[in-house]
């Protein structure tokens, strides 16, 4: 099994295939000094391991104050209840609130994993094109990127001139039952390309860098789904 590790200054990978449960999405951590934030929470069976991984990296897991939900699928939100009970605020876009708080199986895709989802209240609802979430001295710019789901977001932050993009589930899959829209998705992918990110922290396939590989990765799926 792989270890948690640093992606770049202030950014870490703390969960995902080969690190925690293979059914988890890739779970990333942003260190803002006085506060920490997770980007997604995994399927829900690895929550303690995620906290242990934070500690293994020399960080204080009690500073975890936010979980940023990139979209409302079970492999990204299943662990929300655990982290929220320990003081972390749940942040998601209003258009995926019905999945996170309502827990409808067709929206969460829990049926696919054959697990039950435990709905949680959303502490901060995002809306519009972009909203910022402060994590200590770091700022996550949460860009609305619908297509995979209606309320999908792709947070990014700039650290010492390097742009790090959390582009979860760029590859899909797509299903009308959870609100996929291919036209919106293509528009969203063009937005991501225009960000000119230096590092892509993807939702299931790990980390891509430098900027040329990030662009190539996104353009590959645009061509694949054209």
Give the span between the Cα atoms of 171 and 48, in whole angstroms: 28
Whether 205 has a pLDDT exceeding 70, the answer reads yes
Domain count across the chain:
1
Render 83-145 in DSSP notation, one character per residue.
HHHTTPEEEEEGGGHHHHTT--HHHHTHHHHT--------SEEE-SSEEEEEETTEEEEEEE-
Under DSSP, the state recorded for 4 is P
Helices (runs of H) and strands (runs of E) counted in the chain = 8, 13
CATH number, domain at 20? 3.60.15.10
Could you report the per-residue pLDDT of 59-118, keeping only the tens digit for each? Answer: 999 999 999 999 999 999 999 999 999 999 999 999 999 999 999 888 999 888 888 999
Nearest Cα residue to 159 out of 52, 11, 34, 38: 11
**What's the confidence (pLDDT) of residue 114?**
85
Least confident of 25-34, 80-89, 113-122, 189-198: 113-122
Q: Judge if pTM exceeds 0.95.
A: yes
Is 15:42 a contact under the CB 8 Å cutoff?
yes
Domain of 138 in residue numbering reads as 5-224
């Amino acid at each position: 099994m792989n270890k948690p590790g640093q992606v770049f200054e202030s950014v870490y990978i703390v969960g995902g295939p080969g690190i925690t449960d293979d059914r988890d999405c890739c779970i990333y951590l942003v260190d803002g000094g006085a506060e920490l934030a997770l980007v997604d929470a995994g399927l829900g069976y690895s929550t303690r391991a995620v906290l242990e991984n934070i500690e293994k990296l020399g960080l204080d897991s009690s500073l975890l104050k936010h979980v940023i939900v990139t979209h409302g699928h079970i492999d990204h939100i299943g662990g929300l209840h655990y982290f929220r009970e320990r003081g972390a605020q749940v942040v998601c876009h209003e258009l995926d609130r019905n999945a996170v708080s309502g827990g409808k199986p067709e929206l969460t895709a829990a049926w696919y994993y054959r697990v039950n989802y435990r709905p949680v209240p959303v502490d901060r609802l995002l809306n519009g094109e972009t909203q910022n979430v402060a994590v200590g001295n770091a700022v996550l710019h949460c860009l609305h990127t619908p297509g995979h789901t209606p309320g999908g977001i792709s947070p990014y932050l700039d650290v010492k001139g390097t742009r790090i993009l959390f582009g979860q589930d760029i590859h899909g899959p797509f299903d009308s039952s959870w609100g996929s829209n291919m036209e919106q998705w293509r528009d969203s992918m063009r937005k991501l390309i225009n960000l000119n990110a230096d590092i892509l922290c993807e939702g299931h396939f790990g980390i891509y860098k430098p900027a040329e590989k990030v662009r190539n990765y996104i353009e590959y799926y645009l061509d694949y789904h054209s």
